[in-house]
């Protein structure tokens, strides 16, 4: 038996925390973003227009590999950030801001769309939503050095792309959780409500909810 759930959302929304919590609750396995450093990142930050395509192709390759590894596994599998987000949010943001050329974007999309047709999608995508002020506050509180340069305008661009993507995504059921209104980390009753929503959205697929 396999149940594959992907957790989506903007930087700072709490994907890793929710991934860990849900996997533990369901007796499953969390899959986090790969720790292997992108060998193009240093070049990308030095010259974004020159290296954006190379950097995003590396991320796409890693995400395709991660997705395939999950599909070969068994049990309840909860993924922190999906294959689709790398392409539809982060790479698209670079393209829309002129860091990836139209020619390179067409090449990227051809590879991405072919892979999407070949790989089975998750059984459910959970989109964690938050406003930009909340994201900024959460990023400050967790105090990661590499996130200090992230500004509100960048998060706003990503949020707009996330909203468009979540509205149009049709490869799998998608459940949107407004994280500013649903306090699943502090309130067990609200977390139980989230679990019941997940069960409903899965449409009858077995989910090992706690007693």
- Which residues are designated catalytic? 80
Q: Cα–Cα–Cα angle for 16, 108, 83, nearest 5°?
A: 20
Nearest 10 degrees: CA dihedral of 10, 14, 15, 19? -170
CA-CA distances (angstroms) from residue 199 to 5, 79, 130, 175? 11, 17, 22, 10
Rounded-to-integer distance, Cα 163 and Cα 161, Å: 5
Q: Which two tokens stand for residue 161?
A: 């792309």
Check the CA dihedral 2-168-191-152 and report its sign: positive
CB 4 within 8 A of CB 77: yes
CB 71 within 8 A of CB 119: yes
Rounded-to-integer distance, Cα 127 and Cα 145, Å: 25
CB 8 within 8 A of CB 81: yes
């Amino acid at each position: 038996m396999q149940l594959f759930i992907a957790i989506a959302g903007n930087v700072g929304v709490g994907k890793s925390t929710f991934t860990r919590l849900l996997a533990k609750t369901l007796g499953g396995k969390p899959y986090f973003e790969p720790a292997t450093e992108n060998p193009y990142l240093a070049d990308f930050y030095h010259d974004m227009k020159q290296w954006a395509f190379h950097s995003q192709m590396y991320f796409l390759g890693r995400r395709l590999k991660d997705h395939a590894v999950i599909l070969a596994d068994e049990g309840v599998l909860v993924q922190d950030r999906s294959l689709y987000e790398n392409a539809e949010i982060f790479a698209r943001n670079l393209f829309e801001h002129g860091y990836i050329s139209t020619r390179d974007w067409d090449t990227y999309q051809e590879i991405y769309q072919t892979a999407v047709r070949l790989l089975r999608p998750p059984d459910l995508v959970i989109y964690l939503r938050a406003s930009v002020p909340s994201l900024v506050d959460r990023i400050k509180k967790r105090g990661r050095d590499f996130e200090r340069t992230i500004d509100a305008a960048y998060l706003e661009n990503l949020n707009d792309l996330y909203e468009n993507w979540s509205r149009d995504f049709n490869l799998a059921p998608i459940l949107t959780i407004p994280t500013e209104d649903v306090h699943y980390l502090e309130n067990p009753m609200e977390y139980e409500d989230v679990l019941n929503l997940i069960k409903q959205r899965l449409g009858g697929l077995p989910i090992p909810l706690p007693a």
